[in-house]
Structure 1
Amino acid sequence: MRVAIAGAGAVGRSIALELVESEHQVMLIERELTQIDPGAVEDAEWVHADACELSSLEEAGIEGCDVVIAATGDDKVNLVVSLLAKTEFGVRRVVARVNDPRNEWLFSENWGVDVAVSTPRLLAALVEEAVAVGDLVRLLTLRQGQANLMEVTLPDPTPLSGRPVRSLALPPDSALVVILRGGRVIVPQPDDAIEAGDELLFVATAAVEEEIRSALDV
């Protein structure tokens, strides 16, 4: 997979290192010459250019990328990069960093964003996930806000203990995707029994969250 990252600061470089380790082709685009450091991510392609300029993206070959990540520290820049990548170059997947949670509402399909990642919101969700038992916690928003990744850790005791997965009356537009039990990752099958302490991960639209809570009795 070929990935372009706009912004070669600490965040952009960290993402690039992870992707390179996973054997993806990575291109880092950075307008500040002082941030250009090929030695920091040796296997990445480095481009000194302004990712907000159409001509710069064209010269960089952005249309050949499968994913564009707008990872600068400026929300305005990230929105412009996302819009250009999606509308001008037809990039299939655009991921954008949200620096100020107050701007999160802007990071939608109207600006070409497929997935918006808000670090403050994500950290808050992870804190909730770590300490909350018996409550449904939203971890991540997917696909322009159309679906969310949610988690619940079942209390002990729970009325669901011993019941098969197929007995969960989950609403439409929702799915139980994995059960975490101790050190195990379980892909749920209809006859698998639910146990107290299980960590359940769901993908669902925001509209059915209350119905999921009712189905889980949490």
Structure 2
Amino acid sequence: MDLFTAIESRRAIKHYSNTQAVSEADFERIMNAVLLSPTSYNIQHWRFIRVTDPQQRARIQDAAWGQTQITEAAELIVLCADIQAWSDNPLRYWANTSSEVQAMMLPMLESFYQGREQLQRDEALRSSGMAAQTLMLAAKALGYDTCPMIGFDSEQVASLINLPPGHLISMIITLGKAARPANPRAGQLPLNEVLMENSF
């Protein structure tokens, strides 16, 4: 499927076939595509919990107020972010560059994020959002469906997955084959209402 078709046909699917799995090869291909998503300073904040245990799925479903896609979908991914990734051995983000590039980038990275807690959090969420979109479009390109979810008790899910300090949950993404299509699009704002030139 070409990129624009994937964009146009990707929808948030609420009901999944529980008999159609995502092949391991396809799952790995999707996740390897996700790793190519952009991040500021190449920090790669994202951390993914692939929930395969049915009992854990059921507990997360309870924390998501009973939403059935949690247990129906072939795959469940809790997309997390390491807020402190900027300070966690940052040399590894530039390991394949010259010493001159490393000597320039590492001090820049530190001075940009040091002491700026809101920026650290914002950056982690930005990175997670780009990773999520890559995941959903890669899945659609391979013929799978997804649903990004924020409708859950984040503290409860954090406890269930043993979320480490300094991390946050960005969203949950379900992945599989739709059992029924999404409802028609509820209402897209026209381009001329959201696209401005030079300023508001």
Larger radius of gyration between Structure 1 and Structure 2: 1
Higher helix share: 2
TM range (shorter): under 0.3
TM-score, reference length from structure 1? 0.22
Higher strand share: 1
TM-score, reference length from structure 2? 0.23
